[in-house]
Amino acid sequence: MNVQTLEGTARELVAPGQGILAADESMGTIGKRFEAVGIETGEESRRAYREMLFTTEGIGEFLSGVILFEETLNQEASDGRPLPQVLLDHGIIPGIKVDKSTVSMPLSPDEKFTQGLDGLGERLPEYREMGARFTKWRAVITIGDGIPSRGCIEANARSLALYAAFCQDHDLVPIVEPEVLIDGDHSIEQCYEATEWTLHATFQALYEQNVEFSGMLLKPNMVISGKEAERQAGVEEVARATVECLRRCVPAAVPGIVFLSGGQSTTQATAHLNAMNSMYDGLPWELSFSYARALQEPPMEIWKGQTGNVEEAQKAFYHRLKMNGAARSGSYSESME
């Protein structure tokens, strides 16, 4: 493990004004999103869609990294360049999602456990050879009747820690993503409690696995009301609860926190990030973004798989990146939309 290399990459990924695009949807997930907007699903449509995003002019101003799905790591743009090289030509660091699908927890079918540790040590050198410099692993925690359970939280924390240790051993920066899902009618207070518990367990497991905190990034949910909750917390309330929870759980050695958007609308995710960065100074970590749908939904709806729509779709993508780049410094406002 080269700690200097890991720290350098981690800090590049949370550079001021920039964030990460999560373009690592599995074939099933992106297929559902394509179907919802009338795009035919297939390897070529997935390739063309990601080429459309990655060839948008000027995105290197606001993107430090892109998380790729394994299929994308092997694909080429229309001009013959590997898609990771397209990103490098923008000055953007390629990364790779390395976890596999989730399965139901034994005796608790409403909770999920993330698979993918088998063979991970053998896969990582191949990903690095193909240009990846960082990785991502997502665990999901559900709030519901009697859940989350200690078994679910601790099993996923241990897997996240082992994943991170494997990656650092190969000089790949691990993005650790323990996501407390927004699905449900739970209150912001319940989300806070579940998030705090999850983060404490995760960092304890990371410590026990000798993971170097200065060479990793955290990708958490924001502390927010459940989607079906009767009372929806306001923007400043979400910002305060999220930062307070992070202060209680995240070591100062971690260079940055790259939030997931997790079911929020495009503008909601931007407003929440902006509020955190405008309300707080002197936090030990950078507060950034690693959004998927919140960056991709507008361009996907415009593109619809049609070559003639590429230019307008790219404009929409660039706009969302610019808005979130502004949110990194707390300078975003609704008037900019």
What pLDDT score was predicted for residue 123? Answer: 97
The number of folded domains in the chain is 1
Cα–Cα distance, 326 to 18 (Å, whole number) = 9
Domain for residue 304, yes or no? yes
Domain for residue 337, yes or no? no
Cα–Cα distance, 58 to 62 (Å, whole number) = 8
Distance (Å) of CA 254 to CA 32, 175, 227: 35, 11, 30
What pLDDT score was predicted for residue 33? Answer: 94
Helix orientation angle between 43-54 and 310-327, rounded to the nearest 10 degrees: 60
Q: Supply the residues annotated as catalytic.
A: 177, 219
Structural domain boundaries enclosing 144: 3-327
Distance (Å) of CA 287 to CA 13, 170, 333: 11, 26, 17
**Residue 298 main-chain phi, psi, to 5 deg:** -60, -50
**Residue 327 main-chain phi, psi, to 5 deg:** -65, -25
Q: Which amino acid is at 120?
A: L
Domain for residue 334, yes or no? no
**Residue 214 main-chain phi, psi, to 5 deg:** -75, -10
332: which DSSP letter? -
Domain for residue 189, yes or no? yes
* Contact present, 222 and 230 (Cβ < 8 Å): no
Q: Angle 178-107-193 (CA atoms, 0-180°, nearest 5)?
A: 35
What pLDDT score was predicted for residue 207? Answer: 98
Domain for residue 20, yes or no? yes
Q: CA nearest 222: which of 251, 247, 245?
A: 245
What pLDDT score was predicted for residue 122? Answer: 97
pLDDT in 10s for each residue of the chain, 337 residues: 999 999 999 999 999 999 999 999 999 999 999 999 999 999 999 999 999 999 999 999 999 999 999 999 999 999 999 999 999 999 999 999 999 989 999 999 999 999 999 999 999 999 999 999 999 999 999 999 999 999 999 999 999 999 999 999 999 999 999 999 999 999 999 999 999 999 999 999 999 999 999 999 999 999 999 999 999 999 999 999 999 999 999 999 999 999 999 999 999 999 999 999 999 999 999 999 999 999 999 999 999 999 999 999 999 999 999 999 999 999 999 999 9
CATH no. for residue 76?
Answer: 3.20.20.70
Distance (Å) of CA 144 to CA 141, 226, 265, 331: 10, 10, 23, 36
Q: Angle 243-247-281 (CA atoms, 0-180°, nearest 5)?
A: 60
Burial class (CB in 10 A: 0-12, 13-18, 19+), 109: exposed
Domain for residue 115, yes or no? yes
**Residue 107 main-chain phi, psi, to 5 deg:** 70, 5
Domain for residue 66, yes or no? yes
Helix orientation angle between 120-129 and 150-169, rounded to the nearest 10 degrees: 50
* Contact present, 53 and 299 (Cβ < 8 Å): yes
Domain for residue 281, yes or no? yes
Judging by DSSP bridges, how do beta strands 286-291 and 217-218 pair with one another?
A: unpaired
Distance (Å) of CA 89 to CA 60, 95, 108, 169, 292: 9, 15, 46, 27, 21
The model's pTM is: 0.97
Cα–Cα distance, 118 to 323 (Å, whole number) = 39
3-state secondary structure of 234: coil
Cα–Cα distance, 155 to 56 (Å, whole number) = 40
What pLDDT score was predicted for residue 128? Answer: 95
Cα–Cα distance, 97 to 102 (Å, whole number) = 14
**Cβ atoms within 10 Å of 317's Cβ, excluding its own:** 23
